[in-house]
Each structure stands twice: as C-alpha cells, then as structure tokens.
Structure 1
Amino acid sequence: MVDRSLLQLAPDPGRYRMLETLREYGTDRLAETGGLGTVRDLAAGYFAELMARYDPQLRGPGQLAAVRVIRAEYDNALAALRRRCDTGDAPGAVALALNLTWYWHMFGRHPDAAYWLGESLAVPGGEPTPERDCAHVISLIDRVDTWPGRTTEKAADDQAQMRELADRLLAYPELPGPYGALTALTLAFLQEEETAFAIIEHLADGDDVWLSGLARMFRAQFAENAGELDRMRPDVETALACFRQAGDRWGQATVLPMRAQLRQYDDDLDGALADLREARSLAGEFGSLDLGDEVFIDVHWIDLHLRRGDTDLAIAVIDSARERALRANSPEMPALVNAWEAVFRVRLGDLDRARELLDDAERGLRGDTTFPGDHARTLVGSVRASLCLETGDLAGAEKALEKAYAAVLETRDLPILSLVAVNAAALAEAHGRHHESAVLLGAASRLRGAHDRTDRQVRELTRRGRAALGEEAFAAAYGKGWKLDGKTAVTEVDPARLRRELRTAHPDPE
C-alpha cells in the first residue's frame, strides 16, 4: 500500500499515514453501504481497550512504553471517546475518560481533562457508581483550574454537588485505581478535608504499593502546607521507596523535590542538589513533567543555587525557567519566575532591575484568581517589602507585607506565609524592635515547621538579633515564636499587628 501511495510511512516506526482525500473517499463509501457506524464502533472499542490495557502500565516498570503508546494513539483515543459520547454510551464514555485521566494529570493536560470528563459525564443515563462519582469529583478540580471565570452561583452549585459526592464516596467499600487518590486530593483542595483524609488514610495503609506511595505523597504535601514537617518526613521517604519498588519514574521525580526541600532545611545542600538532579533525570526519561510542575522545580533550583552562592547557575536556571513559564500559558508562572529573579537581584544590589521584575509580575497577576496566583502574589509582595527595606522605605515595606499577608491567607499554605514572617521580622528590626524581630523569626520557623539555617536573610537577621539582644535574650524571644501553635503563629505574623504595636510604642504627635 505504501508502494501504491495509498499509505505513507510516518516518522514513528510501524506507523502509517493516509492522505486526507483517500480517508474521505473511504468514509463516503462506508456511509453509502451503511457500515460507517459499525466501523466507528469497532474502532472506538479497539482504542478503548488499548487505553484500558496501557493505563495501569503508566504506574509501573512499563511506564515508558505506555507513555509512547498513549501519546501515539492519543488523537485516536479522543475520537473513540467522542464516539462513545455521541452514541449515548455513558458507562463506556466514563470508563474511557478515567483511563485517560492519569495520563492527563501526569503531563498537565488539565484543559483536556476538564473538557472530556465533562463530556462523558454529560451523556444521559449514567447511574451513580464509584467510577462515575470519582470522575465527577476529579472534573471539578480541573474545572477550577481552567474556568476561573465561573459565577458565584456556579461555585455554590459545585460546592453542593461536592458535599453530596463526598458522602457517597465514603460509603463505597473501595474506590477504583488511582482515581480514589485523585478524588481525595480534589476534596482537600475544595475544603472537604474530613472525607479527603479518610480516603488517603485507607489507601496509605493498603496492600497496593503504588497506591500507598501516591497516598503518602499526597499526605506529605498536606503536612508540608500545614507546616508539620515531622509528619511529612516519614511519608516522603516511604512514598519514594514505594515508587521505586513499583518502578514509577514519575512518582520518584515528583517526590524527590520534596525530599530536597527537607534536606535544604537540614543544612544538607549537597543532598538537596543530588535529589533535584535525579528528579530532572527521571523526568527526562518519560518526557518531562507538567510544565507547571517543571517551573516549581526550577524555583527549587533557583532557591538552592542562591543558598549555595552559585550565581552563574542561578542565572542559567532563571533563564530556562522563564522560557518554560512562558510556554505554560498561565500568567502566574512568569510572575513566579520574575519574583525569584527579583530576590536574586535584591541580593546582588541591582534594585532597579528588581523593581522592574516585580512591576512586570504584578501586571501579569492582575485579575488572576487561579492556582498558584495567590502564591505568586504573596511572593511578589514579600520581595517588594525586601526591596523597600533596602531603600529605607519602611512605609512601603509595611504596605507590601500587608498585601502579601492578605494573599497568603487564601492559599492556606503556611510555608509560604513564613516568607512574609521573615520580612516582617526584617521590618521590625528596621524599626529597632529586636525582640519582636526574634519572635517573628521563631514564628516563621513554626509556620514552615523547621528552622531554616541555610537562608541568607534568616542567617543575617539571626546574627544581628543575637548581637543586639545577647544570646540568651535572643534565644528566649525566638523560642517564644517557635513554641506557638500554627493558628496563633498565623495571627502573630500579621503585619497589621506589628503596625499597631509600633504605633502604640510611638504614637503620632497631635
């Protein structure tokens, strides 16, 4: 057929292409004989079976081969999914959509996930099942990520649906495959924590090694957000061991940056660097992570190079991170990279360039409400405060910190809040309030769940605080902040609280 030009060899071995005119001719002939629907049903069945066969292999030693097959047949799989939707096959449509869901989430295809899960769930006649309810919950998280303009009424409707779904999910004895874990992640994001943690606990203690690794990874992420690193540490190690045992490169590449963060806090910068290198090598084997995840790993690299004093390497990563961030097609990603370069420029004393970067970041974030917009706004505000402190603009620093604090409360991410707390400590020091600065440094450590001995700003504030207060008084003030519970620490580091204390100590003259 190739010799007769009916087919053409494709670049991928063993694959062929057909001229569009020949495809249309064949389609017309099948339609004339009444066989077009039958052929399309057969093709849909074949590709649905193919996805069902290769989807589980994405989570084991056959991962690389499975990625190649699904990537090569992706358009055919979507055509099969469209056929199942068009013919009213509700169970078949949901089953095929679920068999593509892990691929979508591995590679950050959230718009595809949102659209096709929605299409499959819209097919009439689908009765509640564990599979269908999981698909529904997962579709909501993708909708949140890709449809930021939803109305208040729609958001309320989603919340009501979520409550009903959460009750049903807890009633099922088992949830299917990895989708139960994805469902738990979604429920936690939408503040249905009780149901989410119940599902995670069940999966973490189960017999499936890969599912246990995934559940522990999610649990470690929740613990990190809550600043509970003592709970995070064992889950990170166990998750990594589970993914290695299962042969899942994606899982290892996702967990290793989490361990690198812990090693960074433990003053093991060489170990952190080794983990990031291994993560990038593994990701390269299966075709890289979701672009957003890649940018977050770049942020880890930038921070690590800054801590190590590797200026040239930090610049190189910033440049590659910006290129990836622009390809991610979301305004918050370039804003994150600009903010981290601004951190770098402030430390170099290049304040004009830092100001330009922060201005660009703020313009890119106007009106953005999607994740990680509030994280980016927090970082931008915190770095803006640092810039103002360098120029002696204490009022500007105060204003920037209050904006950053307001943004971070939306994230419910305590380690991000610790960045605001450190700059609040710097502001207190600039006002000569060394005791309050030390308390805020301790509170920052409580929020992140660890002392941070490799961050240059923390080290310098600590050194100056000890010189001003003496070792014992500094340790007592720092310990006061460190001993706070998480909720109290959140209130303690509110920049408005510091402003009130400063005005009480130095009231404005009438």
Structure 2
Amino acid sequence: MLETLREYGTDRLAETGDLGTVRDLAAGYFTKLMARYDPQLRGPGQLTAMRLISAEYDNALAALRRRCDTGDAPGAVALALSLTWFWQMFGRHRDAAYWLGEALAVPCGEPTPDRDCAQAIYLSNRVDTRPGMTAGEIAHDRAQIRELTNRLLAYPELPGPYGAYALTLAFLQEEKTALAIVEHLADGDDVWLSGLARMFRARLAENAGELDRTRTDVNAALARFRQVGDRWGQATALPMRAQLRQYDGDLDGALADLREARSLAGEFGSLSLGDQVFSDLRWIDLHLRRGDTVLAIALTESARERARRATSKELLVLFDAWEAGFRVRLGDLDRARALLDDAERDLDGDTTFAGDHVRTLVGSARASLCLETGDLAGAEKALEKAYAAALETRDLPILSLVAVNAAAFAEARGRHHESAVLLGAASGLRGAHDHTDRQVRELTRRGRAALGEEAFAAAYGKGWRLDGKTAATAADPARLRGELRTAHPDPG
C-alpha cells in the first residue's frame, strides 16, 4: 500500500513539474539530519543517533543518490562523510566503498579537504572489500595514498574528526609517519580523538610485540571513551584488554571485560557478521583457556553458521583453520583433518586469495595435526608454509604462533633445549609470556620434566632475550632443520 502511495505521489509531482524540486528538498533535509546526528555517534547521545540514522538510512542513501545524479559533488561528498563513522561502527565497508566511490565519481574542480578525506577513507574501505587485488592495483592505491597524504598535511585545517581519521588511515601505509601523527592526536585536547588515536597506537604496538605500550594505550583509550560516553569505543577497547589479561593469567578479568563489551554492543544493536565471528573466536578461546570445553564447542557451531552467512570465503577459511587448531588440542583429529582439507582446497583453488594471516593459521594447524599423528615430514612442510606467510603479515604475534609450533616440532625430534629456546622466542615475539594457552603450558611442563627447572629456565630466557629480528629468524623451520641435522647426521 505504501509503495502504491509513493508511486501515486511521484506521478502527480511529475505531472506538475515539481518532482525534481521535492527530491532536492528531501535531499537537503536528510543531509542536514545526518550532519546533525553524526557527531552524536561519538558521545553520550550515541544510542539515539544510531537509532535515528538506522531508521532513516535508506532515505539518506536516496539523498546521496540525488546529490550524485544532479552533479552536486560537494554535497555528495559532505553527505558521504556524515555517514562514514556509521559505516565504520557497523562494519559496513561495502556500503562505504560503494557510496564514497559514487560521490567521488561526480566531476568537480580542484581537490578540497573534504574530497581528499573522502578519498583516503574510500581507499581504506576498498581494501577490505576487494581481496585478491592485483599487484598493479595495490601499487596504484599506494601511490594515490602517498599523494593524498602530502595534500592532507598541507591543509591548514581538516573537516571535523574525519580529517584525523583519514590521515590515520592514509598513514597506516607508512608506519613511521603514522605513528608520529597518531602520537600527536593521542596527546591532543579532543578527548574522543585522543581515545581513537590511542586505540590505533595500541594496535600498532601489539603488532610489534610491544605489549607494555599496548597495555598503557588500551587503558587510556578505554578511559577516554568512558569519559565521553562512547559505548562503541568501549566495546572495541575491552576485548583488547581481555587479551592482555589472558596472557597475564587473569581469566576472570578477561571474562569480565568480554561480558562488558557484549553488554555494551547489545545496547547499540547488531554488529556486522564478520565482527560477530571475531567476537565469537575471542569467547571460544577464553572458554578453552578456562577449561569450559562444552561451552566452546557449543559456541563454535553458532559461530560457524554466522561465518557462512557472512559470505566471505576468507572469513570461513579463517574459521576452519582456527577450529582445526583447537580440535587438535581436544584430540578430535578426524574433524581437524576435514576442516584443514577444506581450508587448503579453498586456498589452492583461488589464486586471488591474499590472506597471509589465514595462510599462517592453516599451516600452523596442519603442523599441529601432523605432529599429533607422528608425521614429522608433513609437520616440517606445513611449518615452512606458515612461516613464509607469517613473515608477509609483519605481525609479530602471528609469527609467535609459528614459533610455538616450531618448539613443538623440536620437542618431537627430541631437541628439548631448542624447544625451550623457541618457546622463549615466541613469548618475545608476542611481547608477553602466555600463562593460559594450553599448548604453551603443555610444552613448558614437558620441557621442564626433560631438562630440569634450571636448564629449562636458562634456555627459555635465552629465547626471551632475543631481539625481534633474531627471534623471527630463530622460528624459521629451515634453520631449525639445519640445526637438527647437524646434531643428527642421519636425516631419519
């Protein structure tokens, strides 16, 4: 009935020649509405703003389409920027990439601060929605980002929070420059921007294995988001703190953080399916560390269904690899093997697949399975693949996972000293001793039994004190193979 009424109204307006005028008035109204409520997404009015923008979302997109169709480039970009943080909060990267692309496609004159900010945010979201980009496309985007970076820095002032957001996204391509800008924002007077910058900085520090700095920035970001009343910011920072608490052995504290994050997220509505799956993985990992295996398995089934509905091959392969790893720990080797066979078939069958984190997880899980079945040659081959992929990620915590499996491989060859050194190197890469991971605990227990407390502590400490580059080299399976064959000339 409503559609019939809409068509009738449209026809009458067309007959009188007023249709274009009314559409322009509607576009103007919804543009102002989005501009009014967008800032409230970053403060105590967040819930009200979320509900209103969600309710009027289709109208806002219709307004954006009208701006594009009428060639109003400044108006289209301004409205798209007003929707940017809404897209970010709910993981609507496809919407962001599409609509920013549409707005930017409207011809205009010289570059403006608004337009350059929109371009930087567009390029960032395009990466998330176009896995398997060619080398030429990636190089083209990086060249654009470098050009954008120089222009953004030259402007005396940038629009609202989007200037800082665009700069941060652009500079993440150049980490040293990124860190300088993020540090400037982290110490600024804008409390919300300071919280966002500290959260960015915490993630950079985590990737570099600098968990002391991660801890400081996560706590500071959480405090700032609480100060301004940003529930989304708190729900994003709390799982990061929960991870640190797991390393420390404070599983009750980690549980409290994840519960609070879930409660806060429940207030502002459903996250994207991808975000929900990553949240599920955190919960499953925590349940396993707490020994709540039944809960972990039950959650795995519902999480897998969400991963399927997300229609992302990379996400589903990641989930297969992650589940395979914990199935190995539970002794369910047939299930682990089936999951890995599926994951590897998807990886090998898609030449555009570019997920190095996923390839690392798949290789690590396969190595664990091979070790459980006594297939040392298979474990070595899988470790080599995982190590090569982990190096490409430039993510030291993911490389630490390979180092732990290299420690398990050394132990299987009877090289308990090398195993202990690798466990220490894994902790150094991670930036923390992991006191609650089941595999690390078991390797540590067996290592102490084989070497004695003092010898194990000395070997572990040797690995812990290695600098990042040396620790990364120590985890190389090829290097480990050479050491083992030197010690045992007979390769069998």
Distance 1:205 1:229 in 2: 20
| Structure 2 counterpart of 1:4 | none
| Cα shift at 1:467 | 2.1
Establish whether residue 187 from structure 1 lines up as the match of residue 170 from structure 2: yes
In the alignment, which residue of structure 1 is the partner of 2:183? Answer: 201
Matched residue, 1:107? 90
Alignment counterpart, residue 394 of structure 1, candidates 357, 376, 384: 376
Task: Assess if the C-alpha contact under 8 Å between 1:180 and 1:199 holds in 2.
Answer: no
Q: 1:286 aligns with which of 265, 268, 277?
A: 268
| Structure 1 residue 348 corresponds to structure 2 residue 330 | yes
Shift of 1:362: 2.3
Percentage identity across paired residues of the two chains: 82
Q: Deviations over 1:184-233 (max 9, x none)?
A: 443354x2223322321121111111111111011101111111001111
Distance 1:188 1:494 in 2: 30
CA separation of 1:404/1:509 partners in 2, compared to 1, >3 Å: closer, same or farther?
closer
Cα distance, 1:356 vs structure 2: 0.8
Take 2:271 and 2:403, find their aligned partners in 1: how far apart are those partners? 31
Q: Which of 116, 120, 139 pairs up with 2:122?
A: 139
Deviation string for 1:325-378 (max 9, x for gaps)?
11222112222322232233212222111111111222334427567x322221
Query: Of 81, 88, 98, which aligns to 2:64?
Result: 81
Q: Is the 8 A contact 1:225 1:414 kept in 2?
A: yes
Question: CA 1:48 to 1:368, structure 2 compared with 1: closer, same or farther past 3 Å?
Answer: farther
Tell me the residue number matched to 2:150: 167
Structure 2 residue aligned with 1:494:
476
Distance 1:252 1:345, change over 3 A: same
Shift of 1:407: 1.5
Question: Match for 1:238: what amino acid?
Answer: A
In structure 2, distance between residues paired with 1:334 and 1:418: 23
Aligned pair partner of 1:49 in 32, 40, 57: 32
Cα distance in 2, alignment partners of residues 195 and 66 from structure 1 = 34
Any idea what the Cα deviations from partners look like across 1:101-139, whole Å, max 9, x if unmatched?
111111111111111111111111143222221111111
- Counterpart Cα distance in 1 of 2:460 and 2:109: 58
2:5 aligned to 5, 22, 30, which one?
Answer: 22
Supply the AA of the counterpart residue of 2:310. Answer: A
Give 1:175 shift.
3.3
Provide the residue aligned with 1:427 in structure 2.
Answer: 409
Deviation for aligned residue 1:20: 2.5
Q: Is the 8 A contact 1:187 1:195 kept in 2?
A: no
Work out whether residues 347 and 353 of structure 2, in 8 Å CA contact, stay in contact via their aligned partners in 1.
no
Q: 1:293 to 1:84 in 2, by over 3 A?
A: same
Alignment gaps of 5+ in structure 1: 1-17
Q: Does 1:404 align with 2:382?
A: no
1:264 aligns with 2:226: no
Deviation at 1:100, TM superposition (A): 0.4
Q: Relative to structure 2, which stretch is displaced further, 179-188 or 317-326?
A: 179-188
| Equivalent residue in structure 2 for 1:312, among 294, 303, 326 | 294
What does 1:151-166 correspond to in 2, within 5 Å? 151-166=134-149
Structure 1, residues 50-99: CA drift from partner, whole Å, max 9, x if none? 00011111111111111111111111111111111111111111110010
Contact 1:418 1:444 in 2 (8 A): yes
- Which of 113, 116, 140 is equivalent to 2:99? 116
Q: RMSD in angstroms over aligned alpha carbons?
A: 1.8
Q: How far apart in 1 are the matches of 2:362 and 2:151?
A: 41
Write the letter of the residue equivalent to 2:135: T
Q: Is the 8 A contact 1:203 1:212 kept in 2?
A: yes
Is the counterpart of residue 321 in structure 1 residue 303 in structure 2? yes
Q: Does 1:360 align with 2:347?
A: no
1:31-56 Cα distance to aligned partner (Å, 9 max, x none) = 23221111111110000000001111
Q: Spell out, residue by residue over 1:282-304, the C-alpha distance to the aligned partner (whole angstroms, 9 max, x if none).
A: 11110132322221121111111
CA displacement 1:124-182 (0-9 Å, x = unmatched): 11432222211111111111121235443332221211111111222234433332343
1:8-34 Cα deviation digits (max 9, x unpaired) = xxxxxxxxxx63233223222222322
Length-normalised TM-score, structure 2? 0.96
Query: How many residue pairs get matched?
Result: 491
What pairs up with 1:186-265 in 2 under 5 angstroms? 186-189=169-172, 191-265=173-247
- 1:436-475 matches, within 5 Å, as 436-475=418-457
* In 2: Cα distance, 1:450 partner to 1:474 partner: 18
Q: Unmatched 5+ residue regions in structure 2? A: none
SS in 1 for 2:483: helix
Q: 1:225 to 1:157 in 2, by over 3 A?
A: same
C-alpha separation in 1, matches of 2:375 and 2:323: 21
Aligned counterparts of 1:423 and 1:383: Cα–Cα separation in 2: 9
Q: Is the 8 A contact 2:131 2:352 kept in 1?
A: yes
Q: Is the contact made by 2:149 and 2:171 (CA closer than 8 Å) also made in structure 1? A: no
Q: What is the TM-score of this pair, normalised by structure 1?
A: 0.92
C-alpha distance in 2, partners of 1:180/1:476? Answer: 50
Structure 2 match to 1:91: 74
